[in-house]
Amino acid sequence: MAAEGSTQQRRRVMAAASAASTSGAGRCRLSKIGASRRPPPARVRVAVRLRPFVDGTAGASDPPCVRGMDSCSLEIANWRNHQETLKYQFDAFYGERSTQQDIYAGSVQPILRHLLEGQNASVLAYGPTGAGKTHTMLGSPEQPGVIPRALMDLLQLTREEGAEGRPWALSVTMSYLEIYQEKVLDLLDPASGDLVIREDCRGNILIPGLTQKPITSFADFERHFLPASRNRTVGATRLNQRSSRSHAVLLVKVDQRERLAPFRQREGKLYLIDLAGSEDNRRTGNKGLRLKESGAINTSLFVLGKVVDALNQGLPRVPYRDSKLTRLLQDSLGGSAHSILIANIAPERCFYLDTVSALNFAARSKEVINRPFTNESLQPHVLGPVKLSQKELLGPPEAKRARGPEEEEIGSPEPMAAPASASQKLSPLQKLSSMDPAMLERLLSLDRLLASQGSQGAPLLSTPKRERMVLMKTVEEKDLEIERLKTKQKELEAKMLAQKAEEKENHCPTMLRPLSHRTVTVAKPLKKAVVMPLQLIQEQAASPNAEIHILKNKGRKRKLESLDALEPEEKAEDCWELQISPELLAHGRQKILDLLNEGSARDLRSLQRIGPKKAQLIVGWRELHGPFSQVEDLERVEGITGKQMESFLKANILGLAAGQRCGPS
């Protein structure tokens, strides 16, 4: 029954892992070695380290708030109910008596072998300020931490695997940077300034301009790393005299190149990350610059928590780009790296809330699924650029068809004698006379080795038929394009020659036509129309030499007609100036004055612009003040303004000119 129960439990674990991998399919990149086969999942492994009490700190004499139960689990007091405890289980738990070697050998050393397989790995130290993260990663000369131990073992592995006679040649480079207030700074070259984080077409995170130092021994590593470590930003707070004010990232890259065919190359990256601790400014006493640094640290760690939550929930968008730290850790969390998270906690009760927060983050992080794969590719330009003629590209049958008739008539001389043995066969590599002699000799020896082993198939440098046909088609298209351009050029030259000959015959050189000048229209003087009474017009029309103009409006155009002219003459002017003769004006004013003095209210209403109300006002004013002496006296009548008087005169005088009735009936 026990075996059956364990089998069922194992099945449930496998089903949960399968579901987690399905939910994370959108956020994990596929393997570069085969798109049809997804790489196996690898969960982020989490280890918790409890540091011992520090002498001189508050609460050093109090009992610890955290207690380890075994090598994988611990318990902490429940702040809601002091009678209960909260239990956590991780991949490893290291108590206050654990040494640096225990942590390195138990959690970090097993992932170094993945670098030699072309895969990525990362180690992160997480925890509140003063919990011992930097001590875990760097250590001291007496107790070296994870970074020096990992570099020492990695360099030893690369020397063994890259020794003479092994199939791979290995090289190691290192880079060291810090993220200080959302700025990426190169610790190996502090003068380089703020660097940018990019992503290449294959999804790899890279930093252009970051210094890379080749290292072959641990002495080389110390020569570069120790001066760079002194460039890291540190500061004193109430809780830590040397508090890290930035996130430090040591990047170690292992490049492998295969010495024999097919000349593959692999690249593995190791990220060793010392995160700055989250800080409670009420206890650290940060002010000014320290307060600003603390805000940047807490913000980046908050985004880190959001990334972990998004990965666990399977959200479509993971906020990697919200912080420089999470952008750099994109491979480590939900990416393509074997990741180890070392959560550092403190036993003092004053660190209780920070410890609970760190344990909760570690518990969420161990649910993150990564998908490591091998970064492997073929070395580009191994054989160097080869320039072949068109006949060599076409091959024997195609070259025979491409030969001209003269070559077919001449033919070839006596055929060469057949080689005596297969070892004397001329290799296609011997045509590459421009190649480096050492490389050529190496390739020839490899070709002879393959020939001696009886390998069948096409030679190393032979072009496949499909590629040959593509090249042949491309060459034909280029030739047709060249012929078309030549024909077009000849046509243009012939056209130019014909144009020059025509110019010589006409004896007039080709000259540019002058630009047409803009026609300026001069405004014509306004015409004047004289308005006269109809009776005067009839009297003047009776005379033989009379010419009277009458203004008429027909649509938008105005025509000036002459009584003697048969055809009207259109004029472009749309505005006329009205001019009334003095006699007609005096006659009209007198008639209006007579009507004002003698006419009744009904007669006054026959005038234009005079209504019943104004007519009664005029009659009443006349009874009170007597007759009007002039027409302008109308302004004295209540209710008649100067503008009304002006319009009144114009309207009634024009009416008189047109022969309208303006007197009493």
Residue 363 CA to residue 663 CA, distance in Å, equals 112
Residue 538 CA to residue 210 CA, distance in Å, equals 107
Helix or strand run (H / E) with residue 476: helix 465-506
Structure tokens at 262: 């097919």
Peptide bond into 148 cis (omega under 30): no
Structure tokens at 356: 């609970």
Residue 469 CA to residue 190 CA, distance in Å, equals 55
Core vs surface per residue 488-523: b (16+ CB within 10 A) or e: eeeeeeeeeeeeeeeeeeeeeeeeeeeeeeeeeeee
The residue among 22, 326, 30, 26 whose CA lies nearest residue 203 is 30
3-state DSSP assignment of residue 550: strand
3-state DSSP assignment of residue 337: strand
Q: Are 592 and 659 in contact (CB under 8 A)?
A: no
Structure tokens at 52: 């011992």
Residue 578 CA to residue 532 CA, distance in Å, equals 11
Strand ranges inside 66-167, DSSP E = 66-68, 73-77, 85-89, 92-94, 120-126
Residues marked as binding for ATP? Answer: 127-134
Q: Are 274 and 232 in contact (CB under 8 A)?
A: no
Structure tokens at 391: 């006949």
Instruction: Calculate the CA 214 to chain-centre distance.
Output: 33
* Residues in a beta bridge with 255: 171, 267
| Residue at 432: amino acid letter | L
Exposed / middle / buried, residue 264 (Cβ in 10 Å: 0-12, 13-18, 19+): middle
Residues sharing a CB contact under 8 Å with residue 488, sequence separation 6 or more, in sequence order: none
Structure tokens at 159: 């020397």
Helix or strand run (H / E) with residue 255: strand 247-258
Exposed / middle / buried, residue 215 (Cβ in 10 Å: 0-12, 13-18, 19+): buried
Residue 266 CA to residue 282 CA, distance in Å, equals 49
3-state DSSP assignment of residue 443: helix
Residues marked as binding? Answer: 127-134
Sign of the dihedral through C-alpha 129, 134, 137, 142: negative
**β pairing state of 369-370 and 42-43:** antiparallel
Angle at 372 (CA atoms; ends 371, 378), nearest 5 degrees: 130
Residue 262 CA to residue 410 CA, distance in Å, equals 43
